[in-house]
C-alpha cells in the first residue's frame, strides 16, 4: 500500500491538493497521483505541479452528478491501494469522500487543517476542529487507506516546476448513477468574496430587523471593509446572502480587523475569525462570550454606540 492520491473537480482544487500531497510525499517516500475531472487542470499542469501520474476522469453525461464517478474511483483505488486519498472539503467532495471511505472500509479525516507523516510510527497524522471549534482533534491513521478532506484555502497551492514528466491514463466512463441532476441553478453572485477582505464588520443577532443592517454597512464603509454575518442571519432569517456567513460551516476569514456588532460570540462563529489580527466587538450583554474572544470591545447598545463610533472616526 503506497502512494498519495488527490481527487479534484476544479483547477484550484487540483493545485491546492497537489500542494498538500507534495508535503506528505517526500516524508512517505512515495508518489502523488492526480485523479482529476476533465476540464479542471490539464495533465501537463498536474505533472508540472507535482503529480507523478494523472488519471483523467471521463466526462460525465448531462445530468450525472460528480458522485457518479465513485465506482470508477473505487475500482482504481482497489487496484493500486493508495495510502492516502485527498479530496477538497466542498459539498461534492465531502459526500464523495465519505462514500468512498465507506466502500474501502477506510477512516476519513473530515476538514483536515494540518497534515503530516510520522515516520517513527508509520502513521498519517491529521488535525481538525471539533466541538464547534472549541477543540482540536488529532487523528492518526497507522494502517490502511485514509481518506482526507481539506477545506479550500487551507494549504498553499503547488507551484509549477520545470522538466517534470509522468504518465496520463484516461479512466472509463462510470455506469449511470441512481441520482440524476434535473436542473442546475447557478449561484447569483450578489456578494463580494469576504475571504480576502482586510476589514470585516460582522452583523449578529443583536440587530432587530433587516433594515438595520445598514448601520453595520455604514461602519464597514467607513473602515474600508466588507460586511459579514453570523449563521442565524444568513440561514434562519435570510437577511444576508449565505456567502457572508462566517464560521465553521461558513467561510473562514483572516482580516486584519474584525468588528462584531451584536455578535454573541458562539464558538462555531468565532472559530471562523481565529486568523484575524484584531478582533473587537460591540454587544449590550457584558457576559457575551465574544468579549473574552476579542482584543477589546464596548459593552453597550449597538444602535447607540455605532453612530458614535462613526462620528468619532470622522474627527
Partner 1 sequence: MPTIVACFKWVVDEAYIRRGAGGALDFSSVDYKIGEYDRNAIEEAVRQRDAGGGGNVIGVTVGTPESAKGVKDGLSRGMDQAFFVSDPSFKDLEPSQTAAILAEVIRSRILQYDLIACGEGSSDLYAQQVGPRLAELLGIPCVCFVQKLSIEGGRLRAERRVEDGVEVVEAPLPALVTVLPDINTPRIPGVRDTLMAGKKPVITVKRDELTGTFEGALKTAAMTASSLERTGEKLAADAAGIARFVDSLRKSGVIK
Binders of partner 1 among residues 271 to 300 (CB under 8 A) are 271, 274, 277-280, 286, 289, 291-300
Q: Is residue 17 a contact residue for partner 1 (CB under 8 A)?
A: no
| Residue 86 backbone zone (phi > 0: left; psi -120 to 50: alpha; other: beta) | beta
Q: Which residues of 43-64 are buried (b: 16+ CB within 10 A; e: fewer)?
A: bebbbbbbbbbbbbbeebeeeb
Q: Is residue 144 a contact residue for partner 1 (CB under 8 A)?
A: yes
10 Å CB burial of residue 209 (0-12, 13-18, 19+) is: exposed
Which set of grid coordinates corresponds to residue 200? Answer: 470585516
The answer to whether the CB of 84 falls within 8 A of the CB of 93 is no
10 Å CB burial of residue 172 (0-12, 13-18, 19+) is: exposed
Q: Minimum CB separation from partner 1 for residue 168, in Å?
A: 26
* The one among 135, 160, 161, 214 contacting partner 1 by CB under 8 A: 135
Q: Is residue 301 a contact residue for partner 1 (CB under 8 A)?
A: yes
User: By rule CB under 8 A, what count of residues binds partner 1?
Assistant: 89
Q: Is residue 110 a contact residue for partner 1 (CB under 8 A)?
A: yes
Q: Minimum CB separation from partner 1 for residue 289, in Å?
A: 8
Contact region with partner 1 (CB under 8 A), list: 18-26, 47-55, 104-112, 210-218? 104-112
* The one among 257, 260, 261, 262 contacting partner 1 by CB under 8 A: 257
Q: Which is nearer to partner 1, 162 or 312 (CB)?
A: 312
Q: What is the DSSP code string of 114-147?
A: EEEEETTTTEEEEEEEEGGGTEEEEEEE-SS-EE
Q: Which of residues 155-184 bind partner 1 (CB under 8 A)?
A: 177-184
Q: Is residue 101 a contact residue for partner 1 (CB under 8 A)?
A: yes
* The one among 28, 54, 55, 108 contacting partner 1 by CB under 8 A: 108
Q: Which is nearer to partner 1, 203 or 257 (CB)?
A: 257
How far, in Å, CA of 274 to CA of 135, rounded?
13
Q: Which is nearer to partner 1, 29 or 183 (CB)?
A: 183
Q: Is residue 248 a contact residue for partner 1 (CB under 8 A)?
A: yes
How far, in Å, CA of 242 to CA of 239, rounded?
9
Which set of grid coordinates corresponds to residue 286? Answer: 457584558
* The one among 27, 131, 176, 208 contacting partner 1 by CB under 8 A: 131
Backbone φ, ψ for residue 308 (5° rounding): -70, -35
Amino acid at each position: 500500500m503506497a502512494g498519495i492520491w488527490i481527487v479534484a473537480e476544479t483547477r484550484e482544487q487540483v493545485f491546492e491538493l497537489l500542494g498538500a500531497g507534495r508535503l506528505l510525499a517526500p516524508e512517505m517516500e512515495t508518489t502523488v497521483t492526480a485523479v482529476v475531472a476533465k476540464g479542471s487542470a490539464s495533465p501537463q499542469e498536474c505533472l508540472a505541479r507535482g503529480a507523478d501520474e494523472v488519471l483523467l476522469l471521463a466526462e460525465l453525461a448531462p445530468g450525472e452528478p460528480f458522485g457518479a464517478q465513485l465506482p470508477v474511483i473505487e475500482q482504481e483505488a482497489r487496484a493500486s491501494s493508495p495510502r492516502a486519498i485527498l479530496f477538497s472539503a466542498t459539498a461534492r467532495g465531502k459526500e464523495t469522500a465519505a462514500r468512498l471511505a465507506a466502500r474501502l472500509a477506510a477512516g476519513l479525516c473530515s476538514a483536515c487543517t494540518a497534515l503530516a507523516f510520522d515516520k517513527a510510527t508509520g502513521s498519517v497524522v491529521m488535525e481538525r476542529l471539533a466541538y464547534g471549534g472549541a477543540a482540536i482533534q488529532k487523528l492518526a491513521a497507522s494502517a490502511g487507506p485514509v481518506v482526507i478532506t481539506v477545506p479550500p484555502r487551507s494549504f498553499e497551492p503547488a507551484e509549477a516546476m520545470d522538466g517534470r514528466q509522468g504518465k496520463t491514463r484516461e479512466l472509463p466512463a462510470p455506469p449511470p448513477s441512481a441520482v440524476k441532476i434535473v436542473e442546475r441553478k447557478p449561484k447569483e453572485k450578489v456578494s463580494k468574496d469576504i475571504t480576502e477582505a482586510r476589514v470585516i464588520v460582522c452583523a449578529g443577532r443583536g440587530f432587530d430587523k433587516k433594515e438595520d443592517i445598514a448601520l453595520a454597512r455604514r461602519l464597514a464603509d467607513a473602515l474600508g471593509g466588507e460586511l459579514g454575518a453570523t449563521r442565524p442571519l444568513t440561514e434562519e432569517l435570510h437577511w444576508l446572502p449565505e456567502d457572508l456567513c462566517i464560521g465553521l460551516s461558513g467561510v473562514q476569514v483572516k482580516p486584519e480587523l474584525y468588528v462584531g456588532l451584536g455578535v454573541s460570540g458562539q464558538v462555531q462563529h468565532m472559530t471562523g475569525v481565529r486568523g484575524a489580527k484584531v478582533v473587537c466587538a460591540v454587544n449590550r450583554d457584558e457576559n457575551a462570550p465574544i468579549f473574552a474572544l476579542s482584543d477589546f470591545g464596548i459593552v453597550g447598545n449597538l444602535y447607540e454606540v455605532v453612530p458614535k463610533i462613526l462620528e468619532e472616526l470622522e474627527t
